[in-house]
Structure 1
Amino acid sequence: MSAAPRRRLACRLCTRRKVKCDKQIPCNNCMKRGTPAVCERDEPDDLNAQSTLPTAQHQIEDTSAVNVLRNRVAELEAALQQQNEEGVASKSQTPTTGQAARNAVVQVQSSSPSQGSEIEDAVTVLEFLAWGRMKDPERAMLSPEALRVSEHEEGVGIRPSEELDHALDLDISLHAWLQILLPSKRQIHNLVEYHNNCMLWFHGSYFAPTLSQELDSFYADHRGKFDSNGVTLQWIALLFSVMAGTITSAPAHEARKWGFDESEARLLSQKWYKAVIVSLNSAIFMADHSLHAVQAITTLTNTAHMLGHSNAQSVMLASAVRIAQSLGLHRLDEDARGTDIELESGRRAWQELCTQDWFSTSFSESYSINPLHSTSVAPKNCDDDMNVLTESEPTITSFCRFLAKIAAIMPALQDAMALSNTLYTKHEAVLVHDKKMRSLATGRPSFLANTAFDESWPCYIPWARRAIAMSSAHKIIMIHRKFLGLGFTNPVFAFTRRTCLAASKTILKEYLASSRDESSPMLWTHQAFSVAACIIICFDMLHSSSTSQDESQLVDETIGHLQSCRQKSMIAARGVKVLHALQKQINNRLESRKRSSNAARGDNPRKRRRGFDAVEFARSFSDAQNRPTLLPESITDHQTPPEDLEPVSQRIDGNPQAFDVEEPLNIPADLNWLWSMPLDDEDGTQTFDSLLSFANQGLGL
């Protein structure tokens, strides 16, 4: 039995539109829509007809609705025309009609294809101006003045060239404090010249002739005074960054020739690093964008890592990336405007930012610079006179140009890993990029390979050879990093274990060769790579049934050299601490094996432990942190060296100053995270991965 149809109180149009109706005839909705004539209810007969003839009914309703809409459009067009003629909106016009008219205008304007791009450009430029930024779509902006228009007009912000009385003490201005940190004119020229000749090849952040000219002008035009009108704080930061890089990395005998003994050099390295940071912050570099700030930050990388400021440097580099993008350094293609030196300077700084960012991908599992969003071409293989040379001839940019090609592999690998959902597909992605890395390494220029040395080559070519060999081997490890822990326990990933072990041995051999070269500057990457390589070899020994004497000797020699660098490098200081703990664990396992082999086997032999007990190691390593650190008493007044490392500490007991007497840099003593950290499996592959990150924390290359 079917129920009788229910009488509908809502009108037909409200029912079809599924909106609430006041159930009056005509209803309020129809009155607002201007269709009171068609406002009616469905009668029972209509409902029956609608159930039997739905198509015809809908056609009638649609026709009626179309007619109503056409009439409404005609009314709106008439109202719009009347507005244009009178110049003012009619007072009798309802708000609904006025809003509809404005919508009609927008629809007419947006329908013109020729005006779409112009409107979009205008909106973008206005939006940037509203943010206090300036966007010029016609040319790449190298000059920092392009972003200063609004500040000059509105008087917003503090100019670097103005007098800045950011006092560090009540009676001492910033310029006065910076001035007393300067050595003599001759010493400054020695420091800058050494950096240009012996260290610029490593990072390529600035154009050497430009800095030399600016330094000459600083003394000729400004009498060597920081408070002189025209000397900007961001340029001062670049100068201190270059000097800090030299005094931190130059061999001790070179520094003595310039008049700096070892204790003063260590103190000045800290103070000059601080001068860079204070100068940039006082110049409000994050708002007042300048190429000098980008160059100062990228040049500071080696110093920051060696002095233990890796975390701060990673943030500074991220800021430099944004500043460089606002200056248009990522858009320096072949058609970019500017002088050759301007373009070359911008491209070199941008290439270094890309290299640092992409090499950090293996640690942060992300990257800030998308290669697809950068159109800048690589710096030229040219000399200081801008003469372009062939790829087979070494220049100051050769090392960085090749290193950037290696760095470009890392974001591609990160994307491939993120798109893979199984260990198999992730491992396949690793193998693909491993092959790309090997192809690049074998195809490097001849002067970076083991060919006969040409006396006409620059002095840094032997150092660049070792650096590129170590970096290439380290990148192989970083490509396989996700499978390193599994490589020690799962035979499916034995290739990763063999590959990383071979790469680690290559790194240590090159590092020891570098340590025997007294003319070579100290580079933070060498120590960071060697620590990572030692950790891999130690874990291989802990997971092997027998210990290789050659591998053990290789690690011992490396630790010995790292110990000699601890006074100048926090990377070495951290690394020695981790490696000593691993060596102690290795010795304990060797003694345990000897006792087991000498003991008589009983009816119930002790169950053999599979692999390396990472939990036990984590506990012992964490407990060791409750004891004093490796640093001498003069650095951490409340601590003394641990007993098992006493011979090591005696090497630096005679030196009262290491790093900075005013702001000591302590090795983190709280490493309980190693003990409380969850492990991936009983062999502690997660612990291995964390140790590797700890030894290289905050490091990208």
Structure 2
Amino acid sequence: MTFERGPSVVDSVTQDAAVMLEFLALSRQHVLQAAQVDRPQKAETLSSTSELLFTGAQVRELMEHHQKCIAWTHNVVHMPTFLDQCEERLCSGGTSIEEDWVSLYYAILAVRTEGLVTLYHAHASKLEEVEIYAGDELAMVCYQKSIESLNQADFMKNHSLFSVQAICLLIYIGHNTGDSDRISVLLASGSRIAQCLAIHRLGPDHKSSISQCTDQILRTRRLIDREISKRVWWFLVRQDWLQIPFNNTYNIHPSQFNTPMPRNCDEEAFKMVVDGEVIQHDQDQYTQGSYTSVLNNVAVIIWKMEDRMCQKRAEEETESSMRDLYSEVLQADREMKQLIAGLPLFSDLK
């Protein structure tokens, strides 16, 4: 049995019974990808949220600072790729731009972590060299513009990896400004959007069909895009599981995804991809992903502890049941110490 595919299939998908059956048979993502093949990509004219706050030279300076000093703290963006996108969309005087990309752009400018902000340097003179002042205030402006751009892109309907990346980065300033309730909901939305984009089901690296692509440039691009998707998904997993001690619950279950952890690889394309494969370094070689790799493994330990405790929890708390639960805490503590003992020498955690 076949179903005719027409405009109504895409425009009113929830009202089309035939598509509903096709979703069940082939999976939602498969059908949506097929339906969108011939649809033109939407590009928004520069709006109030995407008007440039900075010159091309300032954008380059800020993004290079982020690449050198901040990207390692989140590893959710492949900075060489994003710098190319900045040149294409902003620095070359383009007249149109996607609002979801604009949201990521402003999120990168706003992000702060461990006292580092793209718009704030240890010495104010560094910003003044490119005629940027009041870095903290501008960071808040960019934070608000990122959220406005998400809404203008209608991110909950128009799913995009850019939107998920922006959400991941917004937590670094949102939690510090009393906006935690908004950030928590955005993170939950980001996880669901990521699932709709199917980046939670990328499968093992060695089974990827990308290696069958004969165009070397296209194959490299696809491998980098896959690695970016892995980074984004594991950021969401990490944030979800690291919150277990505070919430005693989690949203993402490991039985529901098979996307492997990101590889410990270089960022430059010619070093990152060699002979059609993303080169994996051992943990003793520092890369942009070294720090988050440690956090990923910490998150796994925390989830395993919670899972074991859930299996042991009794309806009524007794001294014996509490002792059993505490034994799992001690087990997690031993696993954490073993992880820390094996950290490479460059890590500040050792």
TM-score by length of 1: 0.40
Task: Give the structure 2 partner of residue 377 of structure 1.
Answer: 260
Separation in 2, partners of 1:125, 1:161: 27
Letter in 2 for 1:241: A
Does the alignment pair 1:288 with 2:197?
Answer: no
Contact kept, 8 Å, 1:344 with 1:380, in 2: the verdict is yes
Select 1:405's aligned residue among 297, 301, 305: 297
Residues 57-68 of structure 1 mapped to structure 2, 5 A cutoff:
none
Change (3 A) 1:128 1:320: farther
**Cα shift at 1:290:** 0.7
Residues 516-595 of structure 1 mapped to structure 2, 5 A cutoff:
none
Task: Give the structure 1 partner of residue 50 of structure 2.
Answer: 178
Which structure's CA Rg is the greater one? 1
Letter in 1 for 2:29: K
Separation in 2, partners of 1:147, 1:203: 33
Letter in 2 for 1:161: A
Change (3 A) 1:293 1:151: farther
Would you say how many aligned residue pairs link Structure 1 and Structure 2? Answer: 297
SS across alignment from 2:346: helix
Does the alignment pair 1:277 with 2:147?
Answer: yes
Separation in 2, partners of 1:249, 1:306: 15
Letter in 2 for 1:392: D
Separation in 2, partners of 1:305, 1:135: 33
Select 2:191's aligned residue among 321, 324, 334: 321
Separation in 1, partners of 2:188, 2:38: 24
Select 2:60's aligned residue among 189, 206, 209: 189
Letter in 2 for 1:410: I
Contact kept, 8 Å, 1:160 with 1:283, in 2: the verdict is no
Does the alignment pair 1:161 with 2:46?
Answer: no
Task: Give the structure 1 partner of residue 86 of structure 2.
Answer: 215
SS across alignment from 1:178: coil
Change (3 A) 1:366 1:124: farther
Change (3 A) 1:177 1:321: closer
Residues 619-634 of structure 1 mapped to structure 2, 5 A cutoff:
none
> Percent identity, aligned pairs only?
28
**Cα shift at 1:247:** 3.7
Change (3 A) 1:412 1:285: same
Select 2:283's aligned residue among 386, 391, 397: 391
Separation in 2, partners of 1:151, 1:270: 39
Task: Give the structure 2 partner of residue 438 of structure 1.
Answer: 337
Segments of 5+ residues of structure 1 without an aligned counterpart are 1-122, 138-144, 154-158, 164-173, 449-464, 470-701
Separation in 2, partners of 1:234, 1:128: 29
**Cα shift at 1:124:** 11
CA offset digits 1:175-230 (Å, max 9, x no partner): 035315x1121111111111111111010001111101101111465x15xxx33x
**Cα shift at 1:435:** 0.9
CA offset digits 1:649-668 (Å, max 9, x no partner): xxxxxxxxxxxxxxxxxxxx
Contact kept, 8 Å, 2:66 with 2:118, in 1: the verdict is no
SS across alignment from 1:391: coil
Letter in 1 for 2:99: L
Does the alignment pair 1:427 with 2:314?
Answer: no
Change (3 A) 1:433 1:446: same
Select 2:226's aligned residue among 333, 336, 343: 343
SS across alignment from 1:135: helix
**Cα shift at 1:303:** 1.8
Separation in 1, partners of 2:37, 2:250: 32
Separation in 1, partners of 2:329, 2:293: 24
Segments of 5+ residues of structure 2 without an aligned counterpart are 1-16, 112-116, 211-221, 274-278, 315-320
Runs of 4+ in 1 over 4 A off after TM superposition: 127-130, 150-153
Separation in 2, partners of 1:249, 1:312: 24
Task: Give the structure 2 partner of residue 260 of structure 1.
Answer: 132
CA offset digits 1:270-314 (Å, max 9, x no partner): 111011111011111111111111111112221222222222111
Task: Give the structure 2 partner of residue 236 of structure 1.
Answer: 102
Separation in 1, partners of 2:55, 2:127: 14
